[in-house]
């Protein structure tokens, strides 16, 4: 097996709710190669959001190792993880998560501002991002002056502005109507065609089916790992 | 994150909640303004008293009858505990001292002045020609009492500016005969209006030769002897010489109190300086309260902006960046409040000066600096805890909050 961009080995994540323990992820092994388009599906509580948070370094596993681009990131300090998020990972959220007081351009610039990139270099990249996502005449609008589709385009522009290797999208079309959702998915797929690894968590079977590789999760386990419709058993389908 | 970006981010965050920001700035501003105005009042009082006291003359040594403190057992005390009177002879004897430049005896009482059917109660001061020099008074019209034998005096009077106004109006008082008590006096001079003088308003005085005043009050004692030392350096030796002369004249008993103007000034200075400090301390409490408000508001801000903090973390902000952003916001609000407070305070002090022109209500520089520093320190100090709380938030839980 060639080493991929993302390698999870024996990942466990346990939440304690009162006295009971909830196993969000059970001994999960997963490899994702650079440039893959992966959808993660499954019912509520199957652990797909937990998986996404772990992949995005927002959460730490209780056991197992996570290697990102060949480097073990499970043991990194919070600040080192923050730097990796800044440089390698872009997030797209269901509810957009735009900062309401900032304009579209400022929201797009936010990751660069946090990374301490010089204003002159920022301006150039913001201008081209606004052009790429058709937001040129919306640059100075605040989120409440934008439509849902425009908001998600701003969010995608923000997620890609640092040119990350991976984009993690959590229900990117969940708050959008069908036509706008379609448009947003096409944007994400274009990014994937340019070589960005795209991981989409969704309830929507139609959206999930568009990915080259589809993961189905249930009770913290990978139930299926399909590629291009041809079913191959997941690497960790352990009978329970 | 670059400092310029940090400041802009904090500014935008503060501007995003105008009401909260305005309230916080106001609280800080009131605290700083309170410090500025109250210290201006305290220091104004100090300067006012010092000015008033300096204006009664310079290099003054004042002799008053009676001891203000006990001097242990003295044979004189065994016979009588009443101090001897301070007399004109005592005052004249003081002129022999080398460090004494001038001396003016002072007998004070109240009487009535009448002229043309008008009657007014007045404070009568019996003194000599030296008084006008020692007290640095100036005359509006006429002349002061004539120099001469202290035990004799012509029936001449000098009146204050207010007496002139009330008794004579626009009429020239010079040369007029008035009745003071049961004697008639010719007015030879009118004092220039001087406003308030400490304890004794010279505008409302009638000044007579000291023997005539003593005869009017039927007593030969003096209220004070004002002594002017020959120079500033001579004040202490003048005091010693004056004490010695009086002691010798009073059968070896020092039954008078000799104070110097400088000592009184220093005492007032210390006393009122301490008062200013105490007032500043009280005002500083409001700054502490404002600091607690900063903490409260910043904690609310952290709670309201939890989702945003989660987002910033997801976008790669380190804990330090988030902490700095919140600290910068707290510091910025404190600075804004302090500056607004400074303006308000100075405006308040200016209004007080407008209303009471005689009162020099200027806030002292130390109080302004201390007020600003306290505002900033409390603001930032109370901002630390909310900022740390923001920095410690778990990104997953923070993002889940709407």
Q: Name the residue with tokens 């002292």.
A: B364
pLDDT score recorded for residue A83: 93
- The Cα of A239 is separated from the nearest Cα of chain B by a number of Å equal to 30
B372 burial type by CB count under 10 A (0-12 exposed, 13-18 middle, 19+ buried): buried
CA angle, B148 then B149 then B155, to 5°: 80
* Three-class SS state of B342: helix
To the nearest 10 degrees (0 to 180), the angle between helices A119-132 and A104-115 is 140
Q: What is the pLDDT of residue B283?
A: 85
Could you read off the pLDDT of A101-112 as tens digits, one per residue?
A: 999 999 999 999
Of A53, A118, A158, the CB nearest to B396: A53
| Of the candidates A221, A174, A172, the residue with the CA atom closest to the CA atom of residue A200 | A172
Q: Per the CB < 8 Å rule, is A87 touching B316?
A: yes
ipTM of the complex: 0.89
Of A80 and B253, the one with more pLDDT: A80
pLDDT for B75 equals 54
Query: Inter-chain contact B311–A56, Cβ cutoff 8 Å?
Result: no
Residue B5: which of A79, A113, A162 has the nearest Cβ?
A113
Residues of B in contact with A85 (CB under 8 A): 313-316
Share of chain A above pLDDT 70, in %: 93
Alpha-carbon span B302 to A162, nearest angstrom: 27
Q: A170 contacts in B (CB within 8 Å)?
A: none
Q: Which two tokens stand for residue A103?
A: 């304009």
Task: Report how far apart, in Å, the C-alpha atoms of B324 and of each of A111, A154, B148, B376 are.
Answer: 16, 26, 82, 15
The pLDDT-based confidence of A238 (bands split at 50, 70, 90) is very low
Which tens digit of pLDDT belongs to each residue from A118-151?
999 999 999 999 999 999 999 999 999 999 999 9
Summarised one tens digit per residue, pLDDT across range A16-46 is 888 898 889 999 999 999 999 999 999 988 8
Minimum Cα–Cα distance from A111: chain B residue? B315
**Residue A143 contacts B where some CB pair is shorter than 8 Å:** no
Distance (Å) from the alpha carbon of A67 to chain B's nearest alpha carbon? 18
Contact A115, B320 (CB under 8 A): no
Residues of chain B with pLDDT under 50: none
**DSSP H helical segments within B121-253, as ranges?**
131-134, 161-163, 210-217, 235-249
- Condensed to tens digits (0 to 9), the pLDDT of residues A147-204 reads 999 999 999 999 999 999 999 999 999 889 999 999 999 999 999 999 999 999 998 8
Which pLDDT belongs to residue A234? 47
Chosen from B2, B316, B318, B322 to mutate, greatest number of chain A CBs within 10 A: B316
0.90 exceeded by pTM:
no
Pairing between β-strand B183-191 and β-strand B177-180 as defined by DSSP bridges: antiparallel
């Amino acid at each position: 097996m060639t080493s991929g961009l993302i390698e999870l080995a024996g990942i466990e994540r346990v939440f304690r709710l009162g006295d009971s323990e909830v196993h969000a992820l059970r001994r999960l092994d997963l490899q994702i190669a650079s440039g893959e388009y992966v959808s993660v599906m499954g019912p509520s509580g199957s652990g797909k959001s937990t998986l996404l948070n772990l992949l995005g370094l927002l959460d730490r596993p209780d056991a197992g190792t996570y290697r990102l681009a060949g480097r073990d990131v499970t043991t990194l300090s919070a600040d080192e993880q923050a730097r990796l998020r800044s440089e390698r990972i872009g997030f797209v959220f269901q509810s957009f998560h735009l900062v309401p007081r900032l304009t579209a351009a400022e929201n797009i610039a936010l990751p660069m501002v946090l990374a301490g990139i010089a204003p002159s270099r920022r301006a150039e990249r913001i201008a081209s991002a606004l052009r790429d996502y058709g937001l040129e005449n919306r640059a100075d609008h605040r989120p409440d002056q934008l439509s849902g589709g425009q908001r998600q385009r701003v969010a995608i522009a923000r997620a890609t502005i640092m040119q990350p290797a991976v984009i993690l999208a959590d229900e990117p079309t969940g708050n959008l109507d069908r036509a706008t959702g379609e448009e947003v998915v096409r944007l994400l797929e274009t990014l994937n065609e340019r070589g960005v690894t795209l991981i989409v968590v969704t309830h929507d079977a139609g959206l999930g089916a568009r990915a080259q590789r589809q993961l189905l999760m249930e009770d913290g386990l990978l139930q299926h790992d399909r590629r291009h419709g041809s079913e191959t058993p997941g690497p960790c389908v352990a009978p329970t | 994150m670059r400092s310029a970006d940090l400041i802009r981010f904090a500014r935008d965050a503060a501007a995003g909640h105008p009401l909260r920001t305005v309230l916080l700035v106001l609280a800080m501003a009131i605290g700083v303004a309170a410090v500025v105005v109250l210290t201006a009042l305290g220091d104004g009082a100090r300067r006012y008293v010092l000015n008033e006291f300096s204006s009664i003359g310079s290099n003054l040594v004042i002799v008053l009858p009676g001891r203000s403190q006990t001097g242990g057992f003295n044979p004189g005390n065994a016979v009588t505990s009443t101090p001897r009177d301070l007399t004109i002879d005592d005052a004249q004897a003081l002129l022999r001292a080398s460090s004494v430049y001038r001396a003016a005896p002072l007998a004070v009482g109240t009487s009535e002045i009448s002229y043309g059917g008008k009657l007014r109660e007045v404070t009568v001061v019996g003194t000599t020609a030296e008084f006008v020099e020692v007290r640095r008074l100036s005359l509006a019209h006429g002349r002061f009492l004539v120099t001469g034998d202290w035990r004799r005096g012509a029936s001449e009077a000098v009146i204050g500016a207010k007496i002139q106004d009330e008794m004579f109006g626009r009429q020239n008082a010079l040369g007029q005969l008035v009745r003071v008590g049961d004697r008639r006096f010719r007015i030879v001079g009118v004092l220039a209006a001087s406003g308030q003088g400490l304890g004794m308003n010279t505008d409302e005085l009638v000044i007579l030769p000291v023997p005539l005043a003593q005869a009017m009050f039927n007593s030969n004692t003096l209220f004070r002897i004002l002594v002017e030392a020959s120079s500033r350096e001579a004040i202490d030796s003048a005091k010693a010489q004056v004490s010695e002369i009086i002691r010798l004249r009073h059968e070896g008993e020092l039954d008078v109190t000799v104070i110097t103007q400088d000592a009184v000034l220093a005492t007032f200075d210390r006393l009122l300086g301490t008062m200013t400090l105490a007032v500043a301390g009280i005002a500083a409490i409001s700054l502490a309260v404002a600091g607690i408000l900063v903490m409260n508001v910043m904690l609310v801000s952290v709670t309201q902006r939890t989702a945003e903090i989660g987002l910033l973390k997801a976008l790669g902000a380190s804990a330090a960046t988030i902490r700095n952003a919140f600290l910068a916001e707290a510091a910025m609000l404190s600075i804004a409040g302090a500056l607004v407070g400074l303006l308000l305070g100075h405006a308040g002090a200016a209004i007080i000066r407008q209303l009471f022109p005689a009162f020099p209500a200027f806030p002292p520089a130390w109080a302004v600096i201390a007020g600003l520093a306290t505002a900033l320190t409390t603001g930032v100090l109370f901002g630390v805890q909310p900022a740390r709380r923001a920095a410690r938030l778990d990104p997953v839980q923070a993002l889940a909050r709407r």
